[in-house]
Amino acid sequence: MGESKDKSEGKKTLKFDWNSRFWRVSLTLLAALLTFGGPYVVLAVFKVLDLDYAISLVSGFIVFVVGLALLMFLIKKRVIS
């Protein structure tokens, strides 16, 4: 009667290429910005908005930890060595 086509035949699977130069540089720069620049930017923005100093310190620390976590993830995946 008819041909049965595989549904997965037409789909392309997207695979994240960790070893691509673009992604290695981009993720490394993002980790560096979050780790070193993020807490300062959060502190400065919260100061301009005249928000509580304790909240800005906690938010800056969270951004710092996220940057460190991304850096450790990249090292673990051997994206940066």
Whether residue 67 contacts residue 33, with contact meaning beta carbons closer than 8 Å, is answered with yes
pLDDT at 62: 92
- Indicate if the pLDDT at residue 42 is higher than 60: yes
Euclidean distance between CA atoms 37 and 56, whole angstroms: 14
The arithmetic mean of pLDDT across residues 30-41, rounded, is 88
The arithmetic mean of pLDDT across residues 7-33, rounded, is 74
**Domain boundaries of the chain, sorted by first residue:** 34-81
pLDDT at 17: 73
Per-residue pLDDT band for 4 (boundaries 50, 70, 90) equals: low
50 CB contacts (<8 Å, ≥6 apart)? Answer: none
pLDDT at 3: 52
Give the CA dihedral 17, 22, 27, 28, nearest 10 degrees: 120
- Indicate if the pLDDT at residue 24 is higher than 90: no
32 CB contacts (<8 Å, ≥6 apart)? Answer: 67, 71
